[in-house]
Amino acid sequence: MGGKPLTRIPGIEKICRSPLLALLPTFYPPMIQSFVFNDGKLAACNLDSDALRLVRADKGLLIWVNLFAPTTEETKAILEDVFSFHPLAIEDCLSVSRYPKIEDYEDYLFLVMHAVAFSKEEQFRTTELDFFIGKSFLVTHHSEPLSMVTNTIERLQKNPAAISRGMDRLAHFLLDTMVDAYQPVLNDLTKEISTLEDSVFLSQRAEPMVIRDFRERKKELSDLQQIVRPQRDVVNRLARGEFKLIRPVLLPYFRDLLNNINRIESTSSTLSDQLYLTLDVFLNKASYETNEVIKVLTLMTAIITPTIIIGTWYGQVFKNMPGYDLHDVLWVALVVTFVLTVGLVVWLKRKHWL
């Protein structure tokens, strides 16, 4: 795209000359980060709203504005005053949306996507990232720091020509970086599930904590699948060329992005099946241990049954019965008890129950 000279905005070419400003987005990002591109080159950055309004009027310039946890005044100045987005799109942007979606407002696309992170301390979590994609502008909005945004800014500072010749290309780069961030999450979940499997297969007994770990992993996988599936539908619409703001040359890139999301969904489904298989093994193991306990108790009850029956009968019947020598009867009872007990044990062994 042929760029227009920047002399229409006096002094704009000097804004990014300071080396400290290049480090600003990494160490202390402002609430409003803006980047102006002219013919694939970074021409200016971090402009105020008045300067952005002037740049917006120049049809030869491309603009990326990143809003990181902006104030109400900053949001109004950018979304309403500079870009005049639809009130419903602004409302959706500012409210927390659980599910991804895409809406076509003719002059721009509004996307709600979710970046993902996972750590043993914070567990699985997602952060909403909103996109306003126009022909000559891209506006992103998020309430928490995102590594994908930081990495993209660093990439733009080093080699802006690679991803800044079209806002749909820049949007794809952000989405692709976001999807790539899912792989470490899947790796962490795979390790967690493998650890759970080891605790089930290698442990001598079924540990009660396995159920707690299973519930945590199940919730994480469920949250991941609830996020990935709607995002797959959104990217699928982009890959089909459904929206005129996405240039045909970008469609193969979005199809590749769709394949990556399908792979993530397939992996998460496999992990879910693996998790339920581990639970089945655990429940079978717990059931086997319970049956073994019941078996031992049953055998003990069977073995002492002759003693209980004869002892109870002898104590009740022969205690004061005339004509019987209590001493002789005692020996008879002991011999009968012993014979019956030994016979029962031998019979149980022949049945392989003991």
Domain contains 52: yes
Rg of the chain over all Cα atoms, to the nearest angstrom: 36
More confident residue, 321 or 283: 283
Residue 320 DSSP label: S
Domain contains 295: yes
Whether residue 233 has pLDDT greater than 80: yes
**Which pLDDT band, with edges at 50, 70 and 90, does 87 fall under?**
very high
Domain contains 69: yes
Q: What is the CATH number of the domain that holds 134?
A: 3.30.460.20
Q: What is the DSSP string of 217-280?
A: HHHHHHHHHHHHHHHHHHHHHHHTT-STTS-GGGHHHHHHHHHHHHHHHHHHHHHHHHHHHHHH
Residue 43, pLDDT score: 84
Domain contains 82: yes
| Whole-prediction pTM | 0.71
- Alpha carbons 79 and 327: distance in angstroms, whole number: 105
Mean pLDDT of 185-194: 84
The domain boundary, picked from 129, 161, 193, lies at 161
Domain contains 302: yes
153 and 298 together in one domain:
no
Residue 324, pLDDT score: 55
Mean pLDDT of 257-271: 90
Domain contains 239: no
Which of 17-26, 75-84, 256-265, 284-293 is predicted least confidently? 17-26
Query: Identity (one letter) of the amino acid at 44?
Result: A
Residue 295, pLDDT score: 75
**Beta partners for 37?**
42, 62
The domain boundary, picked from 102, 129, 161, lies at 161
Residue 175, pLDDT score: 93
Whether residue 22 has pLDDT greater than 60: no
More confident residue, 109 or 340: 109
The domain boundary, picked from 134, 161, 188, lies at 161
**Which pLDDT band, with edges at 50, 70 and 90, does 204 fall under?**
low
Mean pLDDT of 196-215: 74
Whether residue 56 has pLDDT greater than 80: yes
Q: What is the pLDDT of residues 309-326, one digit of tens each?
A: 776 666 655 555 555 555
Question: What's the domain count of the chain?
Answer: 2
More confident residue, 301 or 12: 301
Contact 216, 122 (CB under 8 A): no
- Alpha carbons 234 and 226: distance in angstroms, whole number: 13
Domain contains 34: yes
What rounded mean pLDDT belongs to the chain?
78
Mean pLDDT of 210-236: 84
Residue 322, pLDDT score: 54
Domain residue limits at 59? 1-161
Q: What percent of the chain has pLDDT over 70?
A: 80
Q: Evaluate the CA torsion angle 158, 164, 165, 169 in order and state its sign.
A: positive
User: Which are the contacts of 74, defined by CB distance < 8 A and separation ≥ 6?
Assistant: 31, 32, 67
Whether residue 257 has pLDDT greater than 90: yes
Residue 124, pLDDT score: 65
Domain contains 208: no
**Which pLDDT band, with edges at 50, 70 and 90, does 7 fall under?**
very low
